[in-house]
Each structure stands twice: as structure tokens, then as C-alpha cells.
Amino acid sequence: MNQEGSLLPPKEFLPRHIGIIMDGNGRWAKQRGLARSAGHRRGAEVFEQIIHDCTDIGIPMVTAYAFSTENWKRPADEVQGIMNLLRSYLKRVSRFQKENIRLRFLGDRTALDDDLQRTMADAEAKSAANTGTRVNLAINYGGRDDLVHAVRALAELAAQGKLEPGQIDEQMVSDHLYTAGMPDPDLIIRPSGEERLSNFLTWQSAYSELVFMDVLWPDFNREHLCRALMEYARRDRRFGGV
């Protein structure tokens, strides 16, 4: 048990890599008569706590879906608020050093403001030598866009005569995704009551265990995390075998 009494599986049954779809901030705020921005602020606080919990439990890698390629369709003030939250979060880089967290960003940064791109690169560089939990934030990320990004890179190599199309295999595609060099997620958790991946890690989730939970992200806590880990530990992962 952990300090709150929540059950945890033995360490050998913990996932190496967890994906989290942080969903439900807007609905949480609406239920309380608050602006959607209040939900996003609370969601950011929960994210920090859950990363701390994952570090404490011993999860090597966490990838959190923070802003999708489809989220640009939201009202401009809401998008700007989310980006400002990210700015605020990244200004506290010293926290990553304290917890030995290595931070990395997944997605197309070119659509983001220049100052935010610089801050993201700086946070990655300053935490690059850290050896604790690896935290990946998916910003302007979409699973299909990730695949297009990889296909274009491979097509460019073929056009340059550096690659024959027949040489392309699954490993080569994986090596050109934003997640190159990372293990695929063993477990993907989606709170909010929705039961879909919503364009998150489309290629990488082929054999992920999926746990959907009927709790909005701003209410998600360590107990919910532990329940998801226990559910994962009960699954029989055969990867197509018997």
C-alpha cells in the first residue's frame, strides 16, 4: 500500500510507460459555474501532482496529452490561456531538477509562439541529464500528424536516394515518429468518461492497455492512478500470442 492506503501492484507489474489523456477540464469548470480557464488551471495543478505520484511510485515514463492538433478549433482566448499556463509551468524549471525529471515535448512546435518554442527547448536542455521519470508533454500533437511527419521524413530520404521503399519497416517508421527512441505506452489512462483515444499516440498505442475512468481530470488523484495501475496489472498481455 502507499501512504494513503491505496493498493499498488508489485513493482514487476508496473508499466514502464503510461500515457494520460487529460480530459474534462471544461466540464469540471462548467459544473461549478466557473470559466473554462479555471478548469485548465486546476488541471495543470493535478498534472503536477500526478507526475509527483508517478515519480514516487516508480513509473519510468509518462506522456501527457496537453494540447492536440484539433484543439486550435477552440475559442482563441481559451487557446491563449492554455499556452500561458504552459509558459507559467515552464518558468519553474528548477522543480524538474529537484525531482530529477527529464522533460521532452512531442508535436509540431512550428505553430507555437517563438518565445514558447525557446522556453520549451530551454527546459528540455536543462533537464536532459536528469535520470528520473521521463515526462513527455504532447503539445500541438496528433497521432495522424505524427504519422504524416514520419512518412514525409522517409519520403525525403527516398527522394535523396538514401532509402529504397522496400527497406521501410515498422522499426523505421517508429524511428521517425516524435517518440523515436521511447518504448510504446504499456497503459493509456483516459478520465472524463469518454472511451476513445482522440488521435493520441495512434501508432504507438497498438498494444497499449486502455483504462477509461468516469472522473473528470481536475478530480483525478493518486487513488485513481493506483486503481488504473491495479487494473493494468490484472490484464493478460499476449501481444497476439497465446
pLDDT-derived band of residue 147, with 50, 70 and 90 as boundaries? very high
Q: How many percent of the chain have pLDDT more than 70? A: 95
Contact 24, 192 (CB under 8 A): yes
Residues 6+ positions from 45 with CB-CB distance below 8 Å: none
Three cell numbers written together for 175:
524511428
List C-alpha distances in Å: 231 to 4, 54, 144, 162: 18, 16, 28, 45
Average pLDDT over residues 31-49: 95
Q: What is the mean pLDDT of the chain?
A: 93
Q: Is the pTM of this model over 0.85?
A: yes
* 1 — pLDDT class (breaks 50, 70, 90): very low
Question: In the predicted model, what is the mean pLDDT of residues 215-225?
Answer: 98
User: Has residue 205 got a pLDDT over 60?
Assistant: yes
Look at residue 168 in the predicted model and tell me its pLDDT. 96
pLDDT at 156 over 50: yes
Cβ neighbour number for residue 25 with a 10 Å cutoff = 24
* Mean pLDDT across 8-24: 96
Three-state DSSP state, 10:
coil
Query: Where is pLDDT greater, at 239 or 51?
Result: 51
Catalytic residues: 23, 71
Torsion on CA atoms 208, 209, 214, 217, rounded to nearest 10: -40
Q: What is the mean pLDDT of residues 166-176?
A: 97
